[in-house]
Each structure stands twice: as C-alpha cells, then as structure tokens.
Structure 1
Amino acid sequence: MNARSIPSSIPSGRLASLDILRGFDLFMLVFFQPVFVAFARHWSETPVFSFLLKQFNHIPWVGFSAWDLVMPLFLFMVGTAMPFSFEKYLANPDKWEIYRKITKRFVILFILGAVVQGNLLSLDPLRLRLYSNTLQAIAVGYLISAILLLHLSRKGQLVVTFLLLAGYWALLTFLGDFTPDGNFAEAVDRAILGRFRDGVSYAEDGSWSFSDSYRYTWVLTSMVFGVTTMMGVFAGQIMKYGKDKKKNCQLLFVIGVVLLLFAWLLSFQTPIIKRIWSASMTLWSGGLCYLLMALFYYVVDYKGCSKGLNWLKIYGMNSIVAYTLGMVVNFRSVAHSLLWGLEQYTGDYYAAILTFANFLILFFILRLMFKQQIFVKI
C-alpha cells in the first residue's frame, strides 16, 4: 500500500464516472446510511421513513433491498477499472510484474478485511475469522478476474464467467436447498472454516458452536464473487474500447435490463438471496450495477455534467481509506468531548448527533487528503 500525489487534472484515460460512482457507493456506506438511520429511527412510524429504513437494512433472507447492492457494486467497480489498469500488461508475455502486484493487492485486502472485522489485532487465535469481510470478497473476485483477463480472450472470459455462475447454480440446486440451514454454500463454509467462521461462539468450557443468526457464506460463494467482478470487467471493456459513448451508454443500459429480466425469471426456481449470493441475486445485482454505471457514464462522461457530483471523488479516489477508517475508527469519543454539553438540550437525539459528528470528522479527513492530492493505492 502506498500514498501518492497525482496531478489535479485527471488523465483522459480515467473514467470520471467510475470515480464518482465509487464515491457514491462509499458515501452511502460510511456516511449517509449510518447518519440517516440514526435520525430516521426517531420517525420510524412515519410511512416514508419506515419504507426508507427498510431499504437501508439487509433483507433477512429472500428478497433484495437498496442496501444489499452496496457490496456487489464494490466488486463490480473493481472489475470495471481492470481493463484500464491492466492495459499495459496484456500484451506483455512476461506476467511476473503484474502477478506481483496482484499478489500484493490480494494479501493486503485480505489482511485489511481481517482488521476491519475486528478480530485480527486481538492476537487471539480463537477470535480469528479467516474469511468474513467485503474486502476479502473483493480480493478473491479481483484475483479470479485478473487471471481471466490476463490469459483468456474476451470470448473465453465470457465462457468461464458463465460456467462459474452455472456451476454455482448447479451446486446449490442439486446438493441442497435454498433454506438457511439446507443450502450447500452454508455446508461448505462450516466444513472448511469451522471454528474460524464468523458467528462462531465459545462456551466457558471451550466448546464452540455456529450461530443460528449468521448466514453469510464465503468459500463456495467465491465463484460468484468472481462473476460479479467479471461483469464489471465487461462493462469496463465496453467503455474503454467502444468508440461511441452514446452507444456505450445504450449497451450498458440494455445489458442491465436483460440481466434483470433473466434474474427475475430465474428467481422462480432460485430465490434472490444476497446472504448466499444466489445465482439470481448475482444477475439481479449485476443488472442494477449496469444501470447505475450507464446512468453515471451518460451524465458524467457523455454529457460532461459533473457539476455538483465531483465532491463524491473525495470518497471514490480514496475508497480503501474511506472504508477502513469508516469501519474501524470510532471518532465518537472526539465528538463527545467537544459536544457533551449539548446532551441536556438534545435528549434522545444526542446519539444521532454523535453519529453525524463521527462521520463528519471522517469526511474532513478524506477532504483534506483530496485537497492535498494524497491518494492511497494498493
């Protein structure tokens, strides 16, 4: 990982829409959702806020909310950037340099994922969770996509991506069911990760058990982490190699609609379940990612209308810092030290104000880094 400064003018080969869309996703994750939910809970009986609160929470099992799109969009955007960042390596027969970078990024993301999860620095092996975080899913999706991008033609990439999706669908369809206890991805995680799976609890006698409430799957689900990232790669290829930006927008939009249609049809057999990243959920979230990418690409890169949106680059161009600080560092103690006198006047809203101040501090840190043109890259 390194911090570097870049010129204030973004290179022409860089997708401004991607930086802004990434910033939008990070802003929703580390600022808007925590702050909005903290305040909106006080008005939860109002129909509008009740509906919005449901959209900012994960669906327990079958179904899909707006909040369920945050993680797939992360993976999708990682893939979207890859045709641009890998360009100079594709024609080089010596892949050692790029594989060194891929390995470094994979390891750093995996370690950061363990830090974000909150157990790595405890130095207690019993609290270590091997594979349980969005950054680790990104690392795996990135690795799969990098191998396909470096060694296969575009047709080969499409074929292998389809086989990964079809293979995952077949394993979950024929080797289990789509219930929390009966799905095959759950069985694989329990068998491979064992006591190092997230959600495991320990009794005083040292015995351990799996949680009935933790239902996210990772090991087998890596297949479709790769699929989601590859869908981003295909979007990136459209925008990089397509000469007509308007046609690129149209193609992205059409692909998004087609993916949503196929997802809806498949959902009659394979329910849309984000927690196990079911095949229908992979297509559904992929379709929404394509539509969002089409929208941002149309407005920012085709129409050139980025006014009022460029501030999102504060998050988008330091995404790793934004995510890691937002998930790990709690600035509430700083806010409480400065604002504690307000508690007697704000009552139940004081906790929400602290939440707002916590993420406002993070925003100013990211803004300062952006102003100083310090961008942390892996």
Structure 2
Amino acid sequence: MKTKKTDLKRLESLDALRGFDLFFLVALGPFMEALAWTTQAPWLQDFMWIFRHVEWEGFSPWDLIMPLFLFMSGISMPFSLSRYKDAADKKPLLLRLLKRVVLLWIFGMMCQGNLLGLNPDKIYLYSNTLQAIATGYLVTALLFHFTSRRTQILVSVLLLLAYWAAMQFVSIGGYGGGNYTPDANLAEWIDSVVLGRFRDTAQLKDGVVQVADWYHYTWLLSSLNFAVTVLTGLFAGYIAKDRMEGKKKVQLYLGIGAAMSVAGWLWGLQMPVIKTIWTSSMVLVSSGYCFMLMGLFYYWIDYKGHRLGITWLKVYGMNSIVAYMLSSIVNFRCMGESFLWGLEQYMGPYYGLMLTVWNMAVVYLILWVMYRKRIYLKV
C-alpha cells in the first residue's frame, strides 16, 4: 500500500458513490442496528430489513453493498490501468496486479480471516469482500489488457452460464443437480471439501471439521461470478471514459441497468436470486442496480454539476479501503468508554448507542483529516 497526494481530476460521481456505499456499511448500518436494539420500537424493527441481509432467496438494499464495492473496482480500471495497455513491457503491470491481489488477500484475512488472532487453528483463507475484489479484479484486469471489449462481454456471458451449468447439472454426493438450498447446493460442497478447516467459522472437533450452522457463504465456485461483477463495472467504466455526450451516458447507465435487473429477476424464476452464493441471476440483478445508481450519481454530479454537499461522501469514498479496514479491525468504542464512562449511569441503555456514535465519529475524523491533507491510501 502506498500513500499518494494527488490533484488529478477524478470522476467525482464515482468517489461519491463509493462514499455512499461505505457510509452505509461503516456508519449508517451500525447506527441503525444500535438504535433498533436500544429502543426496541416495533415500527423501527419493521424498517430494519433495509439494513439486513435476506436469509437466503431475495435481495435487500443491504445486499447491494458488497456487489457495489466489486462493481466500482471495475469502473476505475479504464482510468487507472490504461497507461499500461500499450506498453511493450507488461512486467510492471503484472507486478502491480500481483501486489494488489496479495495485499487485498492479507487485508481480507485481517478483517475476517482471524489472522490477527494469531491462532493457527482459526485462520480462514477465503472469507471476505476484499478477497472477492482481489479475485474479480485480477481476472478483469487481465482481460482488460489482453482482450477486446467483445471478448470481455463474451467471457462475462460464458462465466455466468458456466456457474449456472455447474449448479444445475453437476451432482456429487447428494449436492447440486439444481439444488439451491443452503445445505445441498454444489457451491457449498466445493467450499466444504476444498477449504475444509480453513473455511470461515470452521473448527476441528474430535477430528471432524464443523462449520457454524448459520454459515452458508461460498467463495470458490462463486469466484466465477465475482469476476463478472467486476467486469460489469469495467463496462460502466468504458461508458464513463467515453467522449460521448453526458446525457447519452446517463441514458446508457439507466437503460442497461434496468435491462440487466429485469433479466436477472426473470432468470431468478429458474435459478433463485441468492447473494450468499452469488448466483448468476443475482449478478444481473445487483449489477443492474449498480448501473442505475451510477447513472443517478453521474447525472447529478458530473452531468448537472451539483457538487455542493457531497464532500462528506468523498471523505468516505476517496479512502474506501481505509474506511473498511478501520471499521472492521479497530474498535474505537474502548476510547469512548475511557472518556465517557461516567455518563453510563445517566444514559441507561442509550449509553451503548452513544458509544456507537463515538466510534463512527472517530472513523470519520481520521478519514476527514486524510482528505483535508489529500492523503489517499491506494493498494
């Protein structure tokens, strides 16, 4: 990871959209969960579906956070990697990709792989959004540099179909064969066999690997569709970089997004929309929503020029990896408990809510200072 100070012109709608995604993840979501737990208000509980994953089939706004993160890593590619495209020596590119993948993988293990626990019995290899980004980014970057756009579209379609065909027609030991239940789908079998003890939540008890009953996330077969999600972002990046008129870009974003979402929900009649295992129908639905969100942000910020009031989003968006890492591995609540513990006797159950706000404020303050000093940490 390196620190950069830069004055380069950026696609501000992308920075704001990235900040919107991170704000939901690291600030608004935790605040709403703390508020719902503190108040126990029935009306608020009904509202909380927005900030929670669906249990299995279906899609909630909270389910869009991870696909949007992957999608945006693809959008930036035509801007950040174009200088390597015509270079005769591809070694600098390959070294950059390797470094990015390794760092994201390690960061993912720090966030969710129990790497910081220093307990070899509880280290999990593939379990985090950052690692999904690393996988999708590597595939997409190689396709971006060594294939045409037509080939990239063809590969995207083939990957979606390959995932579907494997899930639909491959059957092993009672798994697969069109089974999309949590315990008997093919992706579940592959992760349990290949990752084994190194799968998230896995523990070795009496010589048997046991995974938490609630854990059904899959990563290995799902990697095919992680790549497609990043590729759809790449296609959105092509539109952003094109010199076509801004209105045309907005129309493309909204039109393509709507078409993909409708196609995904229609496909979902046969292959359910399941974010947990990253089904092909879910990729179309989520990428469609991402296209439409990008269209709305591009329309308001880069096309119409409305930039007043978006700085707080850019604070999150221009250091998104830092925001994600801070919220995942650093608990600033302990600082709040040190300074504010005397208020607990007066605030009752709202003391915990105040500590959540404190944690949010400290993370934002760190990001704001970095933003003001134009320090952006890039992998």
The separation in 1 between residues aligned to 2:316 and 2:155, in whole angstroms, is 33
For structure 2, the 5+ residue unaligned runs are 171-175
Q: Which residue of 2 aligns with 1:69?
A: 64
The separation in 1 between residues aligned to 2:208 and 2:162, in whole angstroms, is 35
Q: Structure 1 residue 54 and structure 2 residue 46: aligned?
A: no
Q: Which residue of 2 aligns with 1:78?
A: 73
Q: Which residue of 2 aligns with 1:148?
A: 143
The separation in 2 between residues aligned to 1:242 and 1:71, in whole angstroms, is 29
**8 Å Cα contact 2:38/2:353 also seen in 1:** no
Which one is further off, 86-95 or 65-74?
Answer: 86-95
Secondary structure at the aligned position of 1:269 is classed as coil
Q: Structure 1 residue 164 and structure 2 residue 159: aligned?
A: yes
Q: Structure 1 residue 128 and structure 2 residue 126: aligned?
A: no
Secondary structure at the aligned position of 1:272 is classed as coil
Q: Which residue of 1 aligns with 2:258?
A: 257
The separation in 1 between residues aligned to 2:357 and 2:311, in whole angstroms, is 22
Q: Which residue of 1 aligns with 2:286?
A: 285
Secondary structure at the aligned position of 2:305 is classed as coil
Q: Deviations over 1:263-300 (max 9, x none)?
A: 11111101111100111111110111001000000001
Q: Structure 1 residue 4 and structure 2 residue 4: aligned?
A: yes
Match of 2:35 among 34, 39, 42: 39
The separation in 1 between residues aligned to 2:313 and 2:202, in whole angstroms, is 37
Amino acid across the alignment from 2:16: I
Amino acid across the alignment from 2:103: I
Residue 369 of structure 1 deviates from its aligned partner by 0.9
The separation in 1 between residues aligned to 2:39 and 2:287, in whole angstroms, is 33
The separation in 2 between residues aligned to 1:118 and 1:366, in whole angstroms, is 24
Matches within 5 A, 1:186-197: 186-197=188-199
Amino acid across the alignment from 2:19: G
The separation in 2 between residues aligned to 1:51 and 1:139, in whole angstroms, is 36
Residue 202 of structure 1 deviates from its aligned partner by 3.3
Q: Which residue of 1 aligns with 2:200?
A: 198
Match of 2:86 among 88, 91, 99: 91
Q: Which residue of 1 aligns with 2:362?
A: 361
The separation in 1 between residues aligned to 2:118 and 2:358, in whole angstroms, is 31
Q: Which residue of 2 aligns with 1:319?
A: 320
Secondary structure at the aligned position of 1:131 is classed as coil
Residue 93 of structure 1 deviates from its aligned partner by 2.9
Q: Which residue of 2 aligns with 1:219?
A: 220
Q: Which residue of 2 aligns with 1:22?
A: 18
The separation in 2 between residues aligned to 1:128 and 1:286, in whole angstroms, is 31
For structure 1, the 5+ residue unaligned runs are none
The separation in 2 between residues aligned to 1:222 and 1:33, in whole angstroms, is 26
**8 Å Cα contact 1:148/1:157 also seen in 2:** yes
The separation in 2 between residues aligned to 1:78 and 1:315, in whole angstroms, is 15
Residue 201 of structure 1 deviates from its aligned partner by 2.5
TM-score norm. by structure 1 comes to 0.96
Secondary structure at the aligned position of 1:148 is classed as helix
Amino acid across the alignment from 1:180: P
Amino acid across the alignment from 2:6: I
Question: In angstroms, what is the RMSD of aligned CA positions?
Answer: 1.2
The separation in 1 between residues aligned to 2:121 and 2:102, in whole angstroms, is 21
Q: Which residue of 2 aligns with 1:208?
A: 209
Residue 341 of structure 1 deviates from its aligned partner by 1.3
The separation in 2 between residues aligned to 1:377 and 1:19, in whole angstroms, is 14
**8 Å Cα contact 1:271/1:280 also seen in 2:** yes
Which one is further off, 75-84 or 174-183?
Answer: 174-183
**8 Å Cα contact 2:197/2:204 also seen in 1:** no
TM-score norm. by structure 2 comes to 0.96
Q: Deviations over 1:59-109 (max 9, x none)?
A: 111111111000000000000000111111112232111111000000000
**8 Å Cα contact 1:118/1:328 also seen in 2:** no
Secondary structure at the aligned position of 2:255 is classed as helix
Secondary structure at the aligned position of 2:377 is classed as strand
Q: Which residue of 1 aligns with 2:173?
A: none
Residue 43 of structure 1 deviates from its aligned partner by 4.2
Residue 242 of structure 1 deviates from its aligned partner by 4.0
Secondary structure at the aligned position of 2:195 is classed as helix
Secondary structure at the aligned position of 2:316 is classed as helix
Residue 212 of structure 1 deviates from its aligned partner by 2.0
Match of 1:113 among 105, 108, 112: 108
